[in-house]
Structure 1
Amino acid sequence: MENLSKQLVDKSVEAFIMGLEIYNKPTIKYRIEGFSFFICNAWELMLKAELLNRGVPIYFPGSNRTISLENAIRKIYTDKKQPLRINLEKIIDLRNTSTHFITEEYETIYAPFFQSCVLNFSEQVKRFHNIDVTDYIAQNFLTLSVNLNVLTNEEIRGKYSQEMAERLINNKNELEFLTTNNSSNDLFIPIRHEFVQIKDKTKADFTYAIDPNADTSAKIITKLQDPNDKYKLTRKNVIDSINKQLQTKKISFNYQTVKGDKGFNEYTLNLFMDFYNLKQDNKYCYQFGTVRRYSQQLVDFILEKIKIDADIINKILVVKKR
């Protein structure tokens, strides 16, 4: 069974890469369906290889037909509430959706789940088969190129037939419910694009000017935001997400404890929060009474700093000692 297991893993990695290549080509209109097909195929082959390694048969009794991906998932991930399992099951549902029902708006609602699924696969194929996908594809390809075109329910109903619109809205509502009640990055990774007007232009990513002679008018809109919509992460969520991406994206991080433990932890998170004064920045965290919650932007900020300098913790410690 060892040779068959290896063949399945090899094909699994190839299916995974094909899914990424299809999704990251914006000119391909079939990329949502193509990605969901290939990522499910990658998971199915990889999990069946793991079952073979465990001595668990992948064929139905007295048949040459192998078990389904759903069956393989249930055998390996036995907890129905496990975020990784829920993520996979939702993408399987999308794969099983008739292609004529899938529209470009599906990308908007599924993109956070796709991104999580990519990192989950990278992590699990390493865990089960000691395969590092970044040996086959550049780590930046693990970040999906996403087109965001958000429509309201009313706009969806106005654009599509009743059957298509209601199916899309039901999917949208179901996934929104999941993200509201589970903040694990094994389930979804939020994708946010925020524009904030500030007075100090030296701190701006870009500047703009208002042209009174422009053909198209524009307005600056201010809107109150519910903090619960943005600050979904606990400290543990932040630490787990950073470690997950450090591992799956093969990002160097030169830090270890006195006991020799490596990885991002409570101590390094506190160093970042204090050194960059992040507790006072509502972009990254928010105080709910006695509880502080964090945004996905905090994860992205820390990862970006580590990418730039793998020795950042040691350098922060040097500065703090001065």
Structure 2
Amino acid sequence: MKISKSLSSLFLFLQEKERNGIPFSLEGVLSATGWKETTFRTYWIKGQLADFISETPDGLYDASNCQSISEVEFSKLLSQSKNRRGLGHNCRSKLAKALLAKSKDNMFLALELYNRPSLENKMDAFSMCFCTAWEQFLKAILIERDGEKSIFRAKAKGFKETISLRECLERYYPANSKIRKNIEQVAYFRDQAVHLLMPEIQGIISRVFQSGVLNYTSQFESFTEVSFINNSHTGMISLVGEFKSPPISIMKSTHGEIANDILELATSIEHEVNLSNDIEFAIPLNVKLIFATDDAQGNTIALTRAEDGIEALRQALIIEKPTDREKTHPFLQKDAINEINSRLQGRYDEEILKKHLSHDKKTGIPLINKNCFDAIAYKNSWKSWKSWKSWKSWKSWKSCNNKFHYKNANPELHYYSIELVEELIKKIMEHCDYLKNAKRSYNLARKQKNQ
């Protein structure tokens, strides 16, 4: 491989500075390489020098990681895609960079051990590596936020002693954070319940582990601006396990009286999962991912993969179970209008209604009519009018089903819910000009459509 003179000179320059432990200035780099300052800044801003150069608090630079690689390896790393960023490129501290690298390695090890079929004590190994990875990652964050001294105990004797994982969590995450709760749960497994992590309860425990990995991936990439795992290995983020627990009699024959404690742990975790019902603590027990693009009513079902992270998985979860349309959306439009008028007249005096509603031309009675109904539905986007760019694009509009509106495909009929009836009454009665303003906007939009 042909190596440019500037990269070769930079490599030798950094090797010498690292070997002698001498900080250097930007001018020293430019003199050694013949670069312009803009060239260095380009490499620096994009993070391509992060593996080898760190900035010091006094505005100088330190060299690192140049003693154990060859000139060819160095050149390859700097000659790769311009999108390449070294891990820790946005960190000032060399210790923070080192902790990030160790954290990433430990989380990889946790995943590798858990996904190894022949390993029976995978939950023990995962818990230890998982907690170590989080502790190192959080210490790197605290160093960048509060300085290197922040992670060391003030009055430690002998070797410097660092703070614990739980102290890191207290300093970084609020008490109600589900991410913190997830890590504390795995730390509890590691410290107090490792003897109970038997294969029979892997199903429920793995849900906590899975959320922890997704949390780590999301937090790691957010802080480092670097992907945690290569696309070719993303399947490892999905932890594999058997989700059925054997009968208590079989467990007792295998583990003796401690089987009761094992089951008690599994029961308590299941209770916490149900109580929390948050994917940042544990994958909910009722999650189902269905490989389909539409359900029976034509609604799009969002799919995701575990490696896409917490937010993507949140979007894929269908939390509400299917319900009967006849119970939730019983009214055709004319029936909904009749119901609204009936409730209005039963609750309010006619003089009050006259201030809020239109008058029927024949009877003079204040009523909601079809135009009123359509105007308020348009104003509140109860039939997805917000998705229109303009009324002229009405042919591309597609009705959607929601808690207020339901479209039956064949025959095409629009149904409305009891919630819509109450919401519409609330809207028009909260301000005397609400209906008038809604109708003005709606009728203007209709007029523009027909032009």
Q: What are the equivalent positions in structure 2 for 1:208-223 lying under 5 Å apart? A: none
1:145 aligns with 2:240: yes
Match of 2:268 in 1: 174
1:128 aligns with 2:223: yes
1:115 aligns with 2:210: yes
Between Structure 1 and Structure 2, how many residues are aligned? Answer: 225
Q: Is the 8 A contact 1:23 1:34 kept in 2?
A: yes
Q: Secondary structure at the match of 1:150?
A: coil
- Runs of 4+ in structure 1 displaced over 6 angstroms? 191-194
Q: Is the 8 A contact 2:277 2:284 kept in 1?
A: no
Question: Which one has more relative contact order, counting CA pairs under 8 Å at least 6 apart?
Answer: 1
In structure 2, C-alpha distance between the alignment counterparts of 1:250 and 1:174, rounded to whole Å:
26
Kindly report the root-mean-square deviation, in angstroms, between the aligned alpha carbons of the 2 structures: 3.9
In structure 2, C-alpha distance between the alignment counterparts of 1:98 and 1:247, rounded to whole Å:
31
Which of residues 179, 188, 201 is equivalent to 1:84? Answer: 179
Q: What is the TM-score of this pair, normalised by structure 1?
A: 0.59
In structure 2, C-alpha distance between the alignment counterparts of 1:65 and 1:128, rounded to whole Å:
25
Q: Is the 8 A contact 1:122 1:248 kept in 2?
A: yes
The residue type paired with residue 134 of structure 2 is W
How much does 1:98 deviate?
Answer: 6.0
Q: Is the 8 A contact 1:87 1:187 kept in 2?
A: yes
Which of residues 105, 111, 127 is equivalent to 1:14? Answer: 105
Match of 2:321 in 1: 285
In structure 2, C-alpha distance between the alignment counterparts of 1:61 and 1:95, rounded to whole Å:
26
Which of residues 36, 51, 54 is equivalent to 2:142? Answer: 51
Q: Is the 8 A contact 1:36 1:95 kept in 2?
A: yes
The residue type paired with residue 47 of structure 1 is L
Q: Secondary structure at the match of 1:134?
A: coil
Distance 1:112 1:101, change over 3 A: closer
Q: What is the TM-score of this pair, normalised by structure 2?
A: 0.44
Percent identity, aligned pairs only?
Answer: 22
Match of 2:13 in 1: none
1:248 aligns with 2:309: yes
Match of 1:165 in 2: 259
Q: Is the 8 A contact 2:279 2:314 kept in 1?
A: no
How much does 1:125 deviate?
Answer: 0.8
Alpha-carbon deviations, 1:64-118, whole Å to 9, x = none? 1111111111111122x32211111111111114654432123122011111111
Q: Secondary structure at the match of 2:229?
A: helix
Q: Is the 8 A contact 1:119 1:245 kept in 2?
A: yes
Q: Is the 8 A contact 2:274 2:284 kept in 1?
A: no
Larger C-alpha radius of gyration, 1 or 2? 2
Q: Secondary structure at the match of 1:186?
A: coil
Alpha-carbon deviations, 1:5-56, whole Å to 9, x = none? 0000000000010110111111111211111111111101000100101115
Distance 1:138 1:28, change over 3 A: same
Match of 1:296 in 2: none
Q: Is the 8 A contact 2:214 2:237 kept in 1?
A: yes
Q: Is the 8 A contact 2:218 2:309 kept in 1?
A: yes
Q: Is the 8 A contact 1:22 1:35 kept in 2?
A: yes
Q: Which runs of 5+ in 2 are unaligned?
A: 1-91, 293-300, 329-394, 400-451
The residue type paired with residue 46 of structure 1 is F
Match of 1:35 in 2: 126
In structure 2, C-alpha distance between the alignment counterparts of 1:160 and 1:169, rounded to whole Å:
11
Q: Is the 8 A contact 2:214 2:307 kept in 1?
A: no
In structure 2, C-alpha distance between the alignment counterparts of 1:116 and 1:153, rounded to whole Å:
28
Q: Is the 8 A contact 1:116 1:189 kept in 2?
A: yes
1:66 aligns with 2:149: no
Alpha-carbon deviations, 1:171-213, whole Å to 9, x = none? 112111112212111011146799xxxxxxxx9xxxxxxxxxx
Q: Is the 8 A contact 1:24 1:144 kept in 2?
A: yes
The residue type paired with residue 4 of structure 1 is L
Q: Secondary structure at the match of 1:286?
A: coil
